[in-house]
């Protein structure tokens, strides 16, 4: 099946610094990617929809100036957590539908392995 990678797999940073997380679709193109956040023993919560060549769409309650998303190519989306604080510590996961992003019936989404962010 389709493969989605994330880098880094884990990162530890100091409070106030910014961290960039990359999400890549390795063998398919993704005009749309999704970013989720998962706290311990909780479900995945959608943060934003990343759109290639246009602005990301953020879910209610997610600060777009804090979580910067750039979808610069058909295989790469990046999430930058700016001025990170301890409460931003979480597991960040991206996903991409395998269809190439065309509108139509929903397709299986493939998830990356996640990035564990710890803010000290």
Partner 1 sequence: GESVGLHLPTLSVQEGDNSIINCAYSNSASDYFIWYKQESGKGPQFIIDIRSNMDKRQGQRVTVLLNKTVKHLSLQIAATQPGDSAVYFCAENYYGSARQLTFGSGTQLTVLP
Which positions touch partner 1 (CB under 8 A)? 1, 4, 6, 32, 34, 39, 41-46, 49, 57, 61, 91, 93, 95, 97, 105-114, 116
User: Cα–Cα distance between 70 and 85 in angstroms, integer?
Assistant: 21
Q: How far is the CB of 4 from partner 1 (least distance, A)?
A: 8
> Could you give the CA distance from residue 31 to residue 99 in angstroms, rounded to a whole number?
9
Alpha-helix residue ranges (DSSP H) falling in the chain:
none
**What is the distance between the alpha carbons of residues 18 and 5, in angstroms, rounded to a whole number?**
21
CB of 62 to partner 1, least distance (A): 12
Looking at beta carbons only, is 51 or 82 nearer to partner 1? Answer: 51
Strand order in the sheet with 19-25: 4-7, 19-25, 76-81, 67-73
- Kindly give, in sequence order, each residue whose CB lies less than 8 Å from that of residue 28, ignoring residues fewer than 6 positions away: 2, 96, 98, 100
Min CB(15)–partner 1 separation in Å = 20
Nearest distance, CB of residue 27 and partner 1, angstroms: 15
Q: Would you say 86 or 106 has its CB closer to partner 1?
A: 106
Residue 49 or residue 82: which is nearer to partner 1 going by CB? 49
11 or 46, CB closer to partner 1? Answer: 46
């Amino acid at each position: 099946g389709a493969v989605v990678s994330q880098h880094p797999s884990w990162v530890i940073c100091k409070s106030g610094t910014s961290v960039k997380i990359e999400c890549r679709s390795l063998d398919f193109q993704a005009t749309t990617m999704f970013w989720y956040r998962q706290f311990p023993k909780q479900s995945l919560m959608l943060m934003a929809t990343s759109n290639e060549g246009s602005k990301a769409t953020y879910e209610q309650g997610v600060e777009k100036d804090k979580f910067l998303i750039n979808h610069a190519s058909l295989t790469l989306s990046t999430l930058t957590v700016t001025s990170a604080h301890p409460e931003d510590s979480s597991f960040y996961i991206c996903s991409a539908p395998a269809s190439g992003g065309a509108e139509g019936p929903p397709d299986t989404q493939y998830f990356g392995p996640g990035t564990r962010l710890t803010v000290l």
